[in-house]
Amino acid sequence: MRGRHRAIEKHKRYGVVEEGLERLGYSQELRRNRSLLTLLFQSLAIAAIPYGEGSPLLSAIYGGGPLSIFVGWIVVCLLDECVALSLAELASRYPTSAGPYYWSFQVSSPASKTVLSFINGWIWLIGNWTITLSVNFGFASLLSATISMYHPDWSANDWQLLLIFYAVCLGSLLICALGNRYLPQVDIVCAAWTAVTILVILIALSVKADAGRHSAAWALGHYDKSLSGWGNFTFFIGLLPAAYTFSAIGMISAMAEECTNPAIKVPQAISLCVPVGGTAGLFFILPICFTLPALEDILSAPAGQALPYIFHVVMGSPGGGLALVFLVLVITLFCSISITNAASRATWAFARDDAIPLAHVWARVDDRLGVPVWSLVLLTLVQMLLGLINLGSTSAFTAFVSVGVIALALAYAIPIFLSLLHGRREVSLARWNCGPVWGPIVNIVALVWIAFELVLFSMPTALPVTEVSMNYAAVVLVGFMAIGAIWYAIHARKSYKGPPESDGL
């Protein structure tokens, strides 16, 4: 029987009726084994500062270099905190793994809530799948680039890169399925490892600086707008790495049914992620800005991965660069595990409301492991199938990476806009909210920033546009939505009634 139809008197495998999940229309199926600290650490593991900023760092080089890296980081943190605060209010009012599509259903007008929640649910699902894909494929690419740094005569071909990617996906699947009880501790280890990594990189780059040291004026303000071809718009291209880093801040909402007192702890974790991660990120990007090699040379980095090249040149040897990249690779592994875990919960939640094909399969929770194993399997299969695209077109695959950010941003924007449109009636009742004065301001800033992000992540990084550099993200998103529309027309319009009605917490 699907989750939305489970009566509260049904046997509650893990108890915890006092958490109020029954008031949101669901019964308890997952173990509540997470605290505020482990939720925050999981959100930081998903952001994975050295990887999130470092993997797409080439975009910041095209975006003008140090000014875009440093100032862009601060600007994006301020704007994304508005998004985080807006999501935190909704997560406090409706703390369920269903997340944004559930929020959309509850704050919409009765006439449109079912259709709107279905649309937002598919966008949310697409975002979860493709952002997880971007992390896992980025991990494979970073690993390939690192090997090339140490063995310049070797470069992974498309098939080898695909096999590395498959290994990453399957490894994450096994860890998340078999080790769920230990994952909160893994997130704690990830937080400690990230802190040590940032400190080591700060010291190592500052001490070695084999490419030379720059003045504070150059490191914090140098701006070369000749690299991207976008002229005065170049600076905004440089915002892409920072925006990518914090694009998944709302995914932690999918863990709401695995922590106690989620109406307080989930919004706290969401709202703290950006300030904590943003502060830590400054200690990562500043030594890079002060020791950058020539910007033109970075653009030709192997596999389009700027970070291994920068580490190699600044440290003055492949071994020194490899040591630093190894630290980042471990963070990326943690990120892969944490984001896979969150995305599987989002998939499971949407399936239990009968919104995707074979929903009864993906909505099963394994009694012994206490996790939705089949949702993990579906998430992994989708990634592996999409990974095949890279064999035919790297630009098409890049579109899948970009669409993750766009889809997540859209999924955030819909419930924030609906809540604002209806006078913030529901979030004003949340146990954690921004209040009647700051709340609307934060919501408006968040929506304006998201609107700009949608444009930014749909643009090619550099001009002139070629078949390789063209950004097909918008096309890919429309294609995914077309699949959802077909499913709705064939089946879901008859079976999908939306998530359960709720009076919130």
**Cα 291 from chain centroid (whole Å):** 29
Phi, psi of 175, rounded to the nearest 5 degrees: -65, -45
H-state helical runs in 262-317: 262-291, 295-298, 306-315
Neighbours of 448 (CB within 10 A): 12
286 pLDDT higher than 90: yes
Closest CA to 104 of 319, 358, 414, 396: 414
Mean pLDDT of the region 228-256: 95
CA distance 380 to 173: 7
pLDDT digits (tens, 9 = 90+) for 123-157: 999 999 999 999 999 899 888 888 887 777 777 78
CB 100 within 8 A of CB 412: yes
How sure is the predictor about 15, in pLDDT bands with cuts at 50, 70 and 90?
very low
CA distance 79 to 450: 9
382 pLDDT higher than 60: yes
Q: What is the pLDDT of residue 19?
A: 62
Residues in contact with 402: Cβ distance below 8 Å, sequence separation at least 6, in sequence order: 457, 458, 471, 473
Does 465 or 355 have the greater pLDDT score?
355
CB 132 within 8 A of CB 340: yes
Could you tell me what percent of the chain has a pLDDT over 90? 75
Could you tell me what percent of the chain has a pLDDT over 70? 95
Q: Could you tell me the two tokens for 477?
A: 């998103």
Neighbours of 193 (CB within 10 A): 16
Phi, psi of 34, rounded to the nearest 5 degrees: -120, 145
What single string gives the DSSP state of each residue in 314-358? Answer: HHTSHHHHHHHHHHHHHHHHHHHHHHHHHHHHHHHHHHHTT-STT
- On average, the pLDDT of the chain sits at 91
Q: Could you tell me the two tokens for 503?
A: 């009076």
Q: What is the pLDDT of residue 104?
A: 96
CB 84 within 8 A of CB 267: no
H-state helical runs in 63-99: 66-93
CATH number, span 3-12+25-495: 1.20.1740.10
Mean pLDDT of the region 163-183: 96
Q: Could you tell me the two tokens for 410?
A: 């859209």
Residue type present at position 49: I
Tabulate helix, strand, coil % of the chain (nearest 5). 75, 0, 25
Q: What is the DSSP letter of 501?
A: P
CA angle 146/308/183 to nearest 5° reads 70
Q: What is the pLDDT of residue 465?
A: 81
468 pLDDT higher than 80: no
**Lowest mean pLDDT across 6-20, 71-85, 97-111, 399-413:** 6-20
CA distance 503 to 429: 10
CA angle 181/183/187 to nearest 5° reads 150
pLDDT digits (tens, 9 = 90+) for 320-370: 999 999 999 999 999 999 999 999 999 999 999 999 999 999 999 999 999
CA distance 240 to 238: 5
Residues in contact with 349: Cβ distance below 8 Å, sequence separation at least 6, in sequence order: 3, 96, 97, 98, 99, 102, 254
Q: What is the pLDDT of residue 270?
A: 98
pLDDT digits (tens, 9 = 90+) for 54-98: 999 999 999 999 999 999 999 999 999 999 999 999 999 999 999
Query: 147-153: which pairs have CB atoms within 8 A and are 24 or more residues apart?
Result: 148/302, 148/303, 148/308, 149/302, 149/308, 149/309, 149/312, 149/318, 149/321, 149/322, 149/325, 150/318, 150/319, 150/322
Neighbours of 60 (CB within 10 A): 30
Q: Hey, is 34 helix, strand or coil?
A: strand
Q: What is the pLDDT of residue 13?
A: 44
173 pLDDT higher than 50: yes
CA distance 324 to 330: 10
The domain locations on the chain are 3-12+25-495
| 259, β-bridge pairs | 34
229-257 burial string, b = 16+ CB within 10 Å, else e? bbeeebbbbbbbbbbbbbbbbbbbbbbbb
Give the length of the chain.
505
- Is the pTM higher than 0.95? The answer reads no
CA distance 173 to 15: 27
Q: What is the pLDDT of residue 18?
A: 44
Neighbours of 219 (CB within 10 A): 22
CB 220 within 8 A of CB 289: yes
